[in-house]
A and B are shown apart, each in its own frame.
Chain A
Amino acid sequence: MSDIKKIKDEFFLKLKEDLNLNQINEIKNDLFGKNGLVSSQFKKLGSVAEEERKKFASELNTVKDELQNKLVKKIQEIESKEINQKLEKEKLDITLPERPFFKGKIHPVSQAIDEISSIFSEIGFSVEEGPDIENEYNNFTALNTPDNHPARDMHDTFYLDNKKELLLRTHTSPVQIRTMLKEKPPFKIIAPGRTYRSDSDQTHAPMFHQVEGLHIDKNINMGHLKGCLDYFIKEFFEIDKIKMRFRPSHFPFTEPSAEVDIGYEIKDGKIVIGEGDKWLEILGCGMVHPNVLKNVKIDTKKYQGYAFGIGIDRLAMLKYGINDLRAFFDCDYRWLNHFGFDPLDVPTNYRGLSR
């Protein structure tokens, strides 16, 4: 057996043992160090007979490669073993809680406003706003509710001056007036916002939310009004089949006026909107009164249209199953957490209104 083969066999055997990195390095040195066994063999190369030299060199190189590969492999084995041992020590109880996070929430009324805006956006309404403080003219007189009109009694108004000229708007309807005075027809707007009445009990809060709708153009009639609200109600409640009833009513600023009821039933103590045989009033609407259009200098021969006012809080209660109106404004952390929406849950038409 040649020396080379002997070295190979000897070291292959050695490398089978359980070694640590230092021992490997020693072996490495024994083989490939300055005076290492393999290195010495290479030094011999010059002295080997010429005809043998080629074969010798070839064998030597092969053995060198084999040994080196073996060493590398052995090192990898040891390293990986050491890492595994180390990781084993680092193992954590992964069921421990993660770093804490606090989920913010969007108020159900805000969510409802976004849903409502999204629905009306689809059929071409844009959003207008008006101030919470209104003058008596915009809130009443311009809306065909002159002073001493009994309809004013239906609105328990908060006043800001003794002359009763400045008040907190009792409905979002003055936004109609502001919009029509500011721009030229056609109009197709909704106006969500805060409204105020000095009324407070289980079902009334001194502040609540309404969304006003106004569509004025040539030839807009009650059929359009019915169509618009029918569309809205079905989209909002995300139910295809809802019974809807238009019932004659009276508002000074619309004529003819209607209140809209939707069908519902009580199932397991819960209100279920749809085709039940009970009626629930949800909004008021009508054709804008010619007197109102005249007050904002719109030619009633050319333009006509409809308006509606919807109680947002009430709609939100119905859709989200909330029983108590007052709770909306009580700011109870538990309630807000329970009924609030995730901020990423933005109602859109293409992703769906609600999850």
Chain B
Amino acid sequence: MKITTNWLKEHLDTKFSENQIIDKLTEIGLEVESVESQSTELDSFLIAKILKTKKHPGADRLKVCDVDIGKKKIVTVVCGASNAKEGLLTIYAPPGAVIPKNQMKLVVSKIRGITSYGMLCSESELNLSEKSDGIAELSNSKYNNKVGKNYFPRNTSNIIDISITPNRADCLGVKGLARDLAAAGSGTLIDKKKIKLIQKNKQKINIKITKEKNQGCNIFGSCLISGVKNTESPKWLKEKIISLGQKPISAIVDITNYVMFDLNRPLHAYDADKIDKGIIVRNSKKGEIFKALDNKDYKLENDMCVITDNSGVLGLGGIIGGTRSGTELETKNVLIEAAYFIPRSIRKTSKVLNIDTDAKFRFERGIDPLSVEQGLQRAAELVKKICGGEVSKFDIQKVENIKKKIIKFEISSFEKITGFSIKQNEMIKILNKLGFEIKKEKKALILKVPSWRPDIEQEIDIIEELVRIHGYDKIQIVEPEKSRTKPTLNKKQRLFHFLQRSIASKGFIETITWSFTDSKINKLFLENNEEVKIVNPISSDLNVLRSSIFSNLIIYLNKNLDRGFKDISLFEIGPIFSGSQPGQQETVVCGLRAGKISRLNWLEKDRLVDVFDVKQDVVRSLVESGFDQNKLYIDDKTPSYYHPGKSGRIFLNKDKEKVVAYFGEIHPIILKKIDIKTESLAGFEIFLDNIKQTKKSLNNQKTQYKYSDYQKSERDFAFVLNKNFHVQELIEVISKIDKDLIRAVKVFDVYEGDNIPEGKKSIALNVTIQSSEKTLKDEDLDRINQLIISTVEDKTGAKIRS
């Protein structure tokens, strides 16, 4: 909502300066977003006189004019207007000026070989009128001695742009703002006297609001003004319209707009002669078509509130009028409409048709239903004054009587909510000025809510009004108590934060990417899950919720590769989605490593990042999180986006309840499809929701501390077994032989090739044997050696390598 203090002062008698008013507006919840000086753009336009014109030597239709722009300066301007002639007073725009109509900035330019310094303007270019044929012609008597002066009077009043919250419909008019300021002590509201109108005749056009379900119009007031002479608006009105950032059109249209912004009372003006018989306000029928004032054709659905006549739809009530009955300069008889449309109906219709107008914006927030007459009165006064004509009596059709809301306000409730108190007198003063009618009771006020405040419905709204006007700065700070009754984080949240930092500590950089992604890339990671589409995505490459974090991570990894990085480790912790219902999501830590380890290193030979790097990342993080490394169970069933031979999944134990992580190299086909240029790419996904949290704390999970000082022995074995046989099982078989004696099993070599049969592999192990009861003798060790060999051969089909 844009206002100027000059306009405001038509409703507010105040000694406050503009800055004080701006501060006050913000203090009472009418946030001033910007203050712009009105003068800048228009200041450069000067009143000028054409001294001489001659034909442009290079163009028939152009003239070269010598123009007196005051201060003894004469400039050359090339002009194409046919009315440019010697002696004409007109409006000159110097180089650097911005033309209001098209926002073009003028520069000194050569036009067919002749340099033109600035431009002579038409009224349309200055948004003064629609007149675009020829340059502006200023009257000799009025402007002759003003050559060189600003055409637009320097307006000291700035344009104040106020952000009006959706609850404050009443402040979408200057008067409403004045009322709030007055209540807050920044002046007194001026009660404008009505001008007495002579209204002899009845309004002749028959108006009917049909009684039907979902009727969107409650009140339809109208006034016929006959015999008018529509014209350009007078200067004061044009200036007001321009200060709103709008274009003056004609007196009648400008008046309806002015009243809307002044009183927050939208009006509509019809050319009465274009109305076919009477007006019927009714619900639309599907398929009805009308051409609106924005020159678009709208096809209507059922149950939209339309203003119609015998020939069809005239306008969408409260939203936009139609071209068929619009006023023009030739209009002789004008019907002014002031109606009340139901916000819900307005909103529904405008949403379906996607129309946004100033009237719609106001009606959907709720207009004062009792302002119908006031609006007609004000409009009639102005039309009569500017365009003449005879004003009819007001015709007001009503479907429903509007009753003011009544609220009982317990005085004590104020302190209960705000923590401080104000005197009852102060409360009454504020509410009075806001327009409430007040009846005092012992401990309460019975309040009749002003009709322009649809937002006020209950006691809490009254408290807000009081504290808002009295000042939020009066609320006293209560220091917070430093006590805690519940732990801040639950176990899952703690795991989240732990894993986040655990992964980062392994050299991964944390990223945060969108929860949505490109469906084309997401498909590569979708597996058998449902694609979760966004109905209205922000762009076509962010059109689905991600099924895996890999999609975004790979996209961004690729961008970083393009930036010239080669060895990158990125991760993200966040949601992935499996459906479109709330809760169909899980939290995943997803990491990607690309490139090489020890690239360009003087100490070590470089090597590609591989599956065992990411396996280490995951296992180490799980162990750091408190899970027993020896219990982790791994197999090789992984989603299709992993390299089938170089990936695995991890369970917390052999029961294989839920997969807690996948890790592995990314499938080469994916790399090819995404066209990612890296030597190697390996990643992992840890599923937080699948990590079972025990009730016991980590401390309570620890076993009793035991140790053995008896001598340790180590024995090496090499077994030849089937290539597909998992070493994990081999280790398990050995460990289980004697849990007391076998303390550790280490794999120190894996070999395939010469001397090993096809389809077999040789695994070399080192087994640590130690008793907690005695020093083992050679016989004991031999026995256990034999047991290891026979058990392994027995259970795994392996052969000891001799």
B534 touches A159 (CB 8 A): yes
A248 touches B482 (CB 8 A): no
Q: Are A250 and B560 CB-contacts (below 8 A) given A104-B510, A150-B364? A: no
B510 touches A135 (CB 8 A): no
Cβ-defined partner of B487 (8 Å) among A126, A250, A328: A126
Note all chain A residues with C-beta closer than 8 A to B510. 104-107, 110, 336, 340
Cβ-defined partner of B477 (8 Å) among A101, A126, A200, A226: A226
B31 touches A (CB below 8 Å): yes
Note all chain A residues with C-beta closer than 8 A to B534. 158-160, 168
B604 touches A (CB below 8 Å): yes
A127 touches B489 (CB 8 A): yes
A134 touches B582 (CB 8 A): yes
> How would you classify the secondary structure of chain A's contact residues: helix, strand, loop or mixed?
mixed
- Bound together, the chains give a CA A109 to CA B511 distance in angstroms of 10
B463 touches A (CB below 8 Å): yes
- Bound together, the chains give a CA A207 to CA B222 distance in angstroms of 49
Note all chain A residues with C-beta closer than 8 A to B580. 133, 160-161, 166
B416 touches A (CB below 8 Å): yes
Q: Are A346 and B501 CB-contacts (below 8 A) given A124-B483, A227-B478? A: yes
A262 touches B (CB below 8 Å): no
Note all chain B residues with C-beta closer than 8 A to A258. 472
Note all chain A residues with C-beta closer than 8 A to B565. 333
B694 touches A (CB below 8 Å): no
Note all chain B residues with C-beta closer than 8 A to A250. 29, 165-168
Q: Are A331 and B556 CB-contacts (below 8 A) given A158-B537, A290-B460? A: yes
B505 touches A104 (CB 8 A): yes
B347 touches A100 (CB 8 A): no
- Bound together, the chains give a CA A245 to CA B475 distance in angstroms of 11
- Bound together, the chains give a CA A123 to CA B416 distance in angstroms of 22
The closest CB in chain A to the CB of B582 belongs to A131
Q: Are A336 and B511 CB-contacts (below 8 A) given A127-B493, A198-B536, A223-B420? A: yes
Note all chain A residues with C-beta closer than 8 A to B497. 114
A176 nearest CB across to chain B (Å): 15
A331 touches B417 (CB 8 A): no
Q: Are A100 and B165 CB-contacts (below 8 A) given A107-B512, A160-B534? A: no
> How would you classify the secondary structure of chain B's contact residues: helix, strand, loop or mixed?
loop
Q: Are A133 and B493 CB-contacts (below 8 A) given A154-B166, A219-B416? A: no
B503 touches A (CB below 8 Å): yes
Interface string of B451-480 (1 = CB under 8 A from A): 000000010110110011000110111111
B725 touches A (CB below 8 Å): no
Interface string of A322-355 (1 = CB under 8 A from B): 0000001111111011001001101000000000
Interface string of A107-121 (1 = CB under 8 A from B): 101100010010011
A247 touches B27 (CB 8 A): yes
Note all chain B residues with C-beta closer than 8 A to A346. 501
Q: Are A343 and B505 CB-contacts (below 8 A) given A133-B585, A159-B534, A248-B29? A: yes
A207-248 at interface with B (beta carbon < 8 Å): 207, 219, 221-224, 226-228, 230-231, 245-248
- Bound together, the chains give a CA A223 to CA B582 distance in angstroms of 35
B419 touches A304 (CB 8 A): no
B365-393 at interface with A (beta carbon < 8 Å): 365
- Bound together, the chains give a CA A257 to CA B542 distance in angstroms of 35
A104 touches B473 (CB 8 A): no
A208 nearest CB across to chain B (Å): 10
The closest CB in chain A to the CB of B486 belongs to A126
The closest CB in chain A to the CB of B480 belongs to A123
How many B residues, CB 8 Å from partner? 96
- Bound together, the chains give a CA A282 to CA B570 distance in angstroms of 31
A70 touches B (CB below 8 Å): no
A269 touches B (CB below 8 Å): no
B278 touches A (CB below 8 Å): no
Interface string of B312-355 (1 = CB under 8 A from A): 00000000000000000000000000000001100110000000
B144 touches A (CB below 8 Å): no
A151 touches B (CB below 8 Å): yes
B416 touches A221 (CB 8 A): yes
The closest CB in chain A to the CB of B415 belongs to A221
Cβ-defined partner of A129 (8 Å) among B167, B364, B473, B493: B493
How many A residues, CB 8 Å from partner? 89
Note all chain A residues with C-beta closer than 8 A to B29. 247-250
A334 touches B563 (CB 8 A): yes
* Interface core residue of A97, A151, A223, A329 (most chain B CB under 10 Å): A223
Cβ-defined partner of B583 (8 Å) among A105, A131, A257: A131
- Bound together, the chains give a CA A103 to CA B508 distance in angstroms of 7
Interface string of B411-432 (1 = CB under 8 A from A): 0000011111000000000000
B343 nearest CB across to chain A (Å): 7
B38 touches A (CB below 8 Å): no
B603 touches A (CB below 8 Å): yes
A100 touches B598 (CB 8 A): yes
B515 touches A132 (CB 8 A): yes
Interface string of B290-328 (1 = CB under 8 A from A): 000000000000000000000000000000000000000
Note all chain A residues with C-beta closer than 8 A to B601. 99-100
B517-568 at interface with A (beta carbon < 8 Å): 532-538, 542, 545, 556, 559-560, 563, 565, 567-568
- Bound together, the chains give a CA A206 to CA B513 distance in angstroms of 11
B456 nearest CB across to chain A (Å): 10
- Bound together, the chains give a CA A134 to CA B534 distance in angstroms of 13
B176 touches A (CB below 8 Å): no
- Bound together, the chains give a CA A329 to CA B553 distance in angstroms of 11
- Bound together, the chains give a CA A57 to CA B502 distance in angstroms of 74
- Bound together, the chains give a CA A150 to CA B365 distance in angstroms of 7
Q: Are A246 and B472 CB-contacts (below 8 A) given A131-B583, A131-B585? A: yes
Note all chain A residues with C-beta closer than 8 A to B167. 250
B488 touches A127 (CB 8 A): yes
Cβ-defined partner of B581 (8 Å) among A150, A166, A168, A245: A166
A161 touches B535 (CB 8 A): yes
Note all chain A residues with C-beta closer than 8 A to B583. 131, 133
Note all chain B residues with C-beta closer than 8 A to A150. 166, 347, 364-365
Note all chain B residues with C-beta closer than 8 A to A153. 166
- Bound together, the chains give a CA A69 to CA B468 distance in angstroms of 99
Q: Are A223 and B475 CB-contacts (below 8 A) given A125-B488, A127-B493, A304-B416? A: yes
The closest CB in chain B to the CB of A157 belongs to B536
A227 touches B26 (CB 8 A): no
A274-292 at interface with B (beta carbon < 8 Å): 287, 289-290
B481 touches A97 (CB 8 A): no
Note all chain A residues with C-beta closer than 8 A to B515. 132, 168, 194, 196, 207
Note all chain A residues with C-beta closer than 8 A to B542. 206
A230 touches B477 (CB 8 A): yes
B619 touches A (CB below 8 Å): no
A331 touches B487 (CB 8 A): no
Q: Which 10 A-B pairs have the closest CB atoms?
A: A248-B29, A223-B419, A102-B507, A250-B165, A331-B556, A104-B504, A343-B504, A221-B419, A256-B464, A121-B488
30 residue pairs bridging A and B, Cβ less than 8 Å apart: A106-B501, A109-B512, A120-B488, A122-B482, A123-B482, A124-B481, A124-B484, A126-B487, A127-B490, A127-B493, A132-B585, A159-B536, A160-B533, A161-B535, A166-B582, A200-B538, A219-B416, A221-B419, A221-B478, A226-B477, A226-B478, A228-B480, A248-B27, A248-B468, A248-B472, A332-B560, A332-B563, A333-B509, A333-B560, A336-B509
Given A196-B515, A248-B467, A336-B510, 16 more A-B residue pairs with CB atoms under 8 Å apart are A104-B503, A106-B504, A127-B489, A148-B344, A150-B365, A151-B166, A160-B580, A166-B580, A206-B538, A223-B418, A230-B477, A245-B472, A245-B473, A246-B473, A333-B565, A336-B509
